[in-house]
Chain A
Amino acid sequence: MSTAQANYLQYPKGLKSWLFTLDHKRIGIMYLAAIMAFFLLGGLLAMIIRLELFTPGEDFIGADTYNQMFTLHGAIMIFLFIIPSIPAALGNFVLPQMLGAKDVAFPRLNLASWYVYILGSLFALYSIFSKAVDTGWTFYTPYSTESQTAVISMTLGVFILGFSSIFTGMNFIVTIHKLRAPGMTWYKMPLFVWGLYATAIIQVLATPVLAITLVLLIMERAFGIGIFDPAMGGDPVLYQHFFWFYSHPAVYIMILPGMGIISELISTFSHKKIFGYKAIAFSSLAIALVSFLVWGHHMFTSGQSELAATIFSFLTFMVGIPSGIKVFNWLATMYKGQIRLDTPMLYALSFLFLFTIGGLTGIFLGALAVDVHLHDTYFIVAHFHYVMMGGTVMAFLGGIHFWWPKMFGRMYSEAWAKISVALIFVGFNMTFFTQFILGSKGMPRRYYNYLDQYQPLHAFSSIGSWILGLGFLVMVIYLLMSLKNGKKAPANPWGSLTMEWETQSPPIPENFPGNPVLTHGPYDYDKVLVERG
C-alpha cells in the first residue's frame, strides 16, 4: 500500500485539532499518554515504598507517610492506570479498525470520556498535594469516615473517573453491536474484541455501584448518615459489600482485555489458527458473569456470615474454569506453530507464565481456611501483583509493542526491547515471588516496619524492584527514540490477519479507504497466505 495519503497523526495539524479531535485513534493516543504518566507516578511511589522496606524500622519516611504512599500507589495504579489502560488506550485505537469501522459509535462521548478522565485525575492529584489519603485504595469504613486526610477529594476523583469508564464501556458495546463491517459476523471478530466486549459489559454494570457507594461514603463523612458508620447504627461490612460488588468485577475489567491481547499475540506469532475460538470467546463472557458472584472472597475475615463466606468461596473456584480454558487453548495454539519470538510474543509468554502463577495462588486464597492465615499478608500482595502486573501489565506492554508500528508508523529497536523484557521479567519475579514467601511466613501488608527475620527477603525484593525499574527505563528510552529514528513500519510488520493490519501504518483519519469488506477470518492462517512486512 502506498503511504502517499496523509495519516491521522499528520492531518489535521495543530494542538487544537488534537484537543477537539473526534478520531478514536487520537483519543486512544491521548489516553495512552495520560495513562503512562500516571503509571510513571504510581511506579515512583512503589519504588519509594520498596526503598523504605529495604531495612526494618524507619529509614526515611515515617508510618503516616508510608500509609499515604501505599494508598496513593494503589489508588493511582488501579483507578488511573490499570482500569483505563487497555480498553481506553489500546482498545480505543484498534477496536474500530479491527471491526472495519470508521470510528466508535459515539465519537463525542469518546472525547468526553477523556476529559472526564483528566478531570477525575485532577481531583486525585489535588488530594495528593493537599493532605494525601491514608485509607488504602479501598476506602474502608469506619476509618475512611474518621481519617483526617483528603478522603473526599480522592473519592470524588474516583467517582468522576467512573463516568469515564462507563462512557468507554457504552461506546464499545454499541460499536461492537452496530458498526461491524459487512462480513464481520460475531464469530469472525478478533478475540481482543470479545475481550473488550466482556470488559465493557462489566464496566457498565459494575461502575454505577461504585458511584453510589462513593456518594454514600461522602455523605457519611459529610452528614453522618449512618449507613456505613457503626457509631451511627450503620454497618461497615455493608460498605465492603458495596465496594467489592464493583471492585471485584473491576479486577476482570483489568484482566479480560489483557487476555484478549494475548489471544491475538499467540495466534499471530505462532502463525497458526487460534485453538478453540468459541471457547475463548465465551470464556470471556463467562468470566464477566462469574465476576459478579464472588466479591465476598475479599471479606472472609470481615465478619460476614459463614453461609455467605461458604457460598462465595465455592463460586470463587468457578473462576478457575474459564481461566483454565483460556490458558490451555493458548498452549494448544502454540503447539506445532511456527513460533517467532519477537518482543510482543515474549510478553505473551511472560503473561502465560506469570498469570498462571497468579491464578493458581488465587485458588489458595479462595479457600476459606487458608485465607484466614494468608489474609492481609504479603501473599495477597504477591498474588494480585502477579495477576495485575504479571497479567494485565505484561499484556498491555505486549499490546503496545504489537501495535506501536501501527500507531506511530515506526519500528522500535528489537534488541533493546528484548533486553528490556528480560529485565522486566527477572525484576518482576525477584520483587514479587519473594513476597509469596514473606506472606506465607506471616509478614503483614501495609506496615512500614517489620521483624528482623524478614530483612533478607525484603532486601531481595527491593533489589528486584530496581531491576524492574531499570527495565521500564530502557523501554521508555527506546520507544521514544523510535518515534524519531525508528525504521518506517510496513502496513503489516508481523504478518497478522486481523483487519487493522490491512490499512496503512499509521492509518488515514477514516481508517480505511472506502468501505472495507471482510474477506477472511481473523485467524485463517491455514487458508490465507500472509507475508510479514
Chain B
Amino acid sequence: MTSHDAHPAHLAHHFSDVEQQQDSAKLGMWIFLLTEILLFGGLFVAYAIFRAWNPDMFYNAHQYLSIPMGTLNTFVLITSSLTMALAIRFMQVGDKSKAVINLWLTLMFAAIFLVVKYFEYSHKFHLGQLPGEYYTFQGVEGTNPHIFFSIYFAMTGLHGIHVIAGMIAIGWVLKRTLNNEFSADYYTPMEMTGLYWHLVDLIWIFLFPLLYLIG
C-alpha cells in the first residue's frame, strides 16, 4: 500500500488522498444515475397515466409485442450485467485477463440485445405500428392505440440509446484495461461504467413487465 503522502499518478491535485477522490467519483456517479432515473421517470409518468386512462387499449396493443423476444432480451441483459460485475470483481483482485474477457462478453451481450431489438422494431415498422401520426396498423381495438406505440418506442428507444452509450463506455474502459491503465488499486472508470451499465439493466427490468406483460 502506498503511504498517505505519496501522490499516485491518478490522484488529481485538488484531492488530498485517493479515498477522497474515489468517494467523490462514486457520489458524482450516483447523482448522475439519479438524473437518469428522473429522465426515464417522465416516460414512466406518461405510461402510468395513459394506461390508467385506457387500460383496455393498452392490453390489446401490448399483445402485438413479442414476449419470447422480450424475455430473451431480459436474459441477455441480466447476463451482461453479471459479466460486467465479474469484470470489476476480477480487476479488484488484479486479474486483468479475466477482466478483459468479461468486458468483451458484456459488449457482446449488449450487441445481441440491440440485434434482437432491431428485429422487433423492423417487424413493427413493417406492420405500420409506428408512433403517432405514422401509425397505420388497423388491428388494435380501443381508442388511440398509436399512443401505446408512441410510449413503447419512446421508452425502448431512449433505453436503446443508453445501451449504445453504455457500449461506447465499455469499449473505452476495455481499451484502457488493455493499455494496462488499471490495477487492483485504481479502476474507478471501470467501476463507474459498471454502475451505468447496471442502471441500464435495472431500467429494462421495469420496462419489460410494464410493456410486454400487461395482465
Contacts and interface: CB of A to CB of B under 8 A. Distances in A.
Do A and B touch (CB < 8 Å)? yes
Interface of A: 101-103, 105-107, 109, 166, 169-171, 173-174, 177-179, 204-209, 211-213, 215-216, 219-220, 223-227, 232-235, 238, 241-242, 510, 515
Given A223-B134, A227-B150, A208 B41 contact: yes
B146 A226 contact: yes
A174 B31 CA distance: 9
Nearest to B135: A226
A177 B42 contact: no
Given A170-B32, A226-B147, A233-B147, A242 B27 contact: no
Given A170-B28, A226-B147, 4 more contacts: A204-B34, A216-B46, A225-B147, A225-B154
B169 to A, nearest CB: 15
B28 A106 contact: yes
B99 to A, nearest CB: 25
Top 10 nearest A-B pairs by Cβ distance?
A: A212-B42, A233-B144, A224-B133, A225-B132, A225-B150, A208-B39, A102-B14, A103-B14, A208-B38, A224-B132
Interface stretch (B16-24, B64-72, B90-98, B200-208): B16-24
A236 to B, nearest CB: 13
Contacts of A213: 42
Nearest to B44: A212
Contacts of B49: 235, 238
B144 A226 contact: yes
Nearest to B131: A225
Interface centre among B23, B35, B38, B143 (most CB of A within 10 A): B35
Interface in B51-102: none
A209 B150 contact: no
A107 B32 CA distance: 16
A242 B42 contact: yes
B38 A242 contact: no
A107 B154 CA distance: 34
B147 A234 contact: yes
B133 A205 contact: no
Nearest to B42: A212
Contacts of A170: 28, 31-32, 35
B50 interface: yes
Contact of B35 (A109, A204, A238): A204
A404 B158 CA distance: 44
Given A178-B24, A204-B31, A233 B133 contact: no
Interface of B: 12-16, 20, 23-24, 27-28, 31-32, 34-36, 38-43, 45-46, 49-50, 131-134, 143-144, 146-147, 150-151, 154, 158
Contacts of B31: 169-170, 173-174, 204
17 contacts: A105-B28, A107-B14, A169-B31, A170-B35, A173-B31, A174-B28, A205-B34, A208-B39, A212-B43, A213-B42, A215-B158, A216-B154, A219-B150, A220-B132, A227-B50, A232-B132, A515-B16
Interface centre among B14, B143, B144, B154 (most CB of A within 10 A): B14
Q: Is the interface of B mostly helix, strand, loop or mixed?
A: helix
A178 B143 CA distance: 53
Contacts of B36: 208
Contact of A223 (B12, B35, B132): B132
A220 B147 CA distance: 11
Contacts of A169: 31
Nearest to A173: B31
A169 B38 CA distance: 15
A226 B23 contact: no
Nearest to B57: A233
Given A216-B42, A223-B134, A233-B147, A102 B13 contact: yes
Contacts of B46: 216, 227, 238
A109 B38 CA distance: 20
Interface centre among A179, A208, A232, A235 (most CB of B within 10 A): A208
B54 to A, nearest CB: 9
Nearest to B41: A209
A224 B143 CA distance: 16
A105 B132 contact: no
Contacts of A241: 45
Contacts of B20: 178-179
Contacts of A227: 46, 50, 147, 150-151
A269 B210 CA distance: 58
B41 A177 contact: no
Contacts of A205: 34-35, 38
Contacts of B133: 223-226, 232
Nearest to B153: A225
Nearest to A219: B154
A226 B150 contact: yes
A216 B132 CA distance: 12
A173 B35 contact: no
A233 B135 CA distance: 13
